[in-house]
Every structure is written in structure tokens, then in C-alpha cells.
Amino acid sequence: MNVRRRTIILILVAAVLTAAVSVLSQMATKQMQKTKLTELKEPTLTIRKSDRKLEVYDGGKLVRTFDMVLGFSPDKDKEVEGDGRTPEGEFYVFTKNPESRFHLSLGLSYPAKDDASRGFAGGLISKDEHDQIVRAIDERGMPPQKTRLGGEIYIHGGGTANDWTDGCVALDNEEMTELFQAIPVGTKVIIKR
């Protein structure tokens, strides 16, 4: 077989493979969009800050992805109240607020134990505040929300035009409604840079 004929065959095979991958990708995306979040058995949420995506998993399988925005200073991990940063780490939903001023909201368990240790070591919080945070996390409750570390970090509605929150994660209201209905208190939330 000559070189020209082999080149043409290779180009055709590459084109067919590319088309097949594209079709399979579109099918997977359509399947994810059809998944009813209310049918989740083992939900977890992963927030990818740099991608501005909130991913919904069920038993480790990605079932939906939402666009989202962050605090007005989104590039680093949250350190103190008012810094406009969205915290990074592992949290859980400790409450659901159907009367949020930003449509609906899911409260996240920030500050976490590692934040409490950092805050105590850095003189930002007292030993009592540190211990209250640790106790709340151990009991899967609401950690203190009014320390110098900040607090009141939620996933809520309000829109995704740009990074505008004080450190929260914001979705479009329609998508927040769907997420709110599906995600129970206690759901694990991982926030990555």
C-alpha cells in the first residue's frame, strides 16, 4: 500500500473516531441533564473554584454539573471575616434555609477544625471559640458563625453573572431550587481550588 493511500485511511479513521467521541460525549451530557436530582441516594457535592462548576455526585458517579460564581476575591482560601474568599476543604450541609434573601440556601460547615486550629494558633480566635468549632463539627452541627475567621458560607441563588458574593457559592435561582430540593442536611461538600 502506498504512502498516500495509507495517509488517507489514517485521516478517515481519525475523523470517524473523533466523531464517535463527540457523539458519546453529547449522549453522556444529555443523560446527566435528564437525571432527576430528587432521586439521589448518596449525594455529595464538589465545587471546583477555578472552573466555576458545582458537581453533583450520587454514590461517586457524576450526575449533574452547574455553573456557579464565588466571592469577590475568589483565588485563595478563606482566612478571615470580610476577605471575600470562598473557603476550601471538606464541609457538610448543616442547614437548609427556604427563606434566604438569595432565593434558597444550603449552609456549609465553615469554619472547619483545621480553620479553628489555624485561627487559634494565629491569635484570631480564643480557645473557647476553637473548642466550640471543634465540638460543633464533631456533632455535625452548626459551627460558630460570628468569629474573626468568618462564617455564614452558603450555596445560594442570586445569579451567576460574575463573582459577587462575600465568600458564598451562587447559582441561578432555577438551578438552586433543584439543588435545594435534592440535597439533605449532612451532605458532604468538597471545595477545591
Does the pLDDT at position 83 exceed 50? yes
The per-residue pLDDT of the chain, averaged, comes to 91
Contacts of 78 (CB under 8 A, 6+ apart): 71, 85, 86, 87, 88, 110, 115, 149, 150, 153, 167
Q: Angle formed by the axes of helices 127-138 and 113-121, to 10°?
A: 170
Do both 70 and 19 map to the same domain? Answer: no
Do both 27 and 118 map to the same domain? Answer: no
Do both 95 and 171 map to the same domain? Answer: yes
Helix (H, G, I), strand (E, B) or coil at 131: helix
- Angle (nearest 5°) at CA 177 between 185 and 104: 65
Q: Taking a C-beta distance cutoff of 8 angstroms, is the pair 63, 161 a contact? A: no
Do both 116 and 154 map to the same domain? Answer: yes
C-alpha cell at 4: 498516500
Do both 173 and 96 map to the same domain? Answer: yes
Give the closest residue to 169 by CA, choosing from 186, 157, 181, 183: 157
Does the pLDDT at position 23 exceed 80? no
Q: What distance in Å separates the CA atoms of residue 68 and residue 46, rounded to the nearest whole number?
A: 12
Q: What is the mean pLDDT of residues 66-83?
A: 96
Q: What is the pLDDT of residues 126-169, one digit of tens each?
A: 999 999 999 999 999 999 999 999 999 999 999 999 999 999 99
Confidence of residue 28 (pLDDT cuts 50, 70, 90): very low
Q: What is the pLDDT of residue 60?
A: 95
Q: What is the pLDDT of residues 104-114, one digit of tens each?
A: 999 999 999 99
Q: Taking a C-beta distance cutoff of 8 angstroms, is the pair 66, 171 a contact? A: yes
Does the pLDDT at position 22 exceed 70? no
Enclosing domain of residue 12: 1-34
Q: What is the pLDDT of residue 18?
A: 66
Q: What is the mean pLDDT of residues 101-105?
A: 97
* pLDDT greater at residue 16 or residue 111: 111
Q: How many domains does the chain have?
A: 2
* pLDDT greater at residue 63 or residue 30: 63
Do both 28 and 93 map to the same domain? Answer: no
Do both 155 and 103 map to the same domain? Answer: yes
Q: What is the pLDDT of residue 25?
A: 53
Does the pLDDT at position 35 exceed 90? no
Report the percentage of the chain scoring pLDDT > 70.
89
Do both 24 and 57 map to the same domain? Answer: no
Contacts of 172 (CB under 8 A, 6+ apart): 66, 67, 157, 159, 160
Report how far Cα 7 is from the mean position of its chain's Cα atoms.
Answer: 46
Give the closest residue to 142 by CA, choosing from 193, 90, 186: 186
Q: What is the pLDDT of residue 3?
A: 77
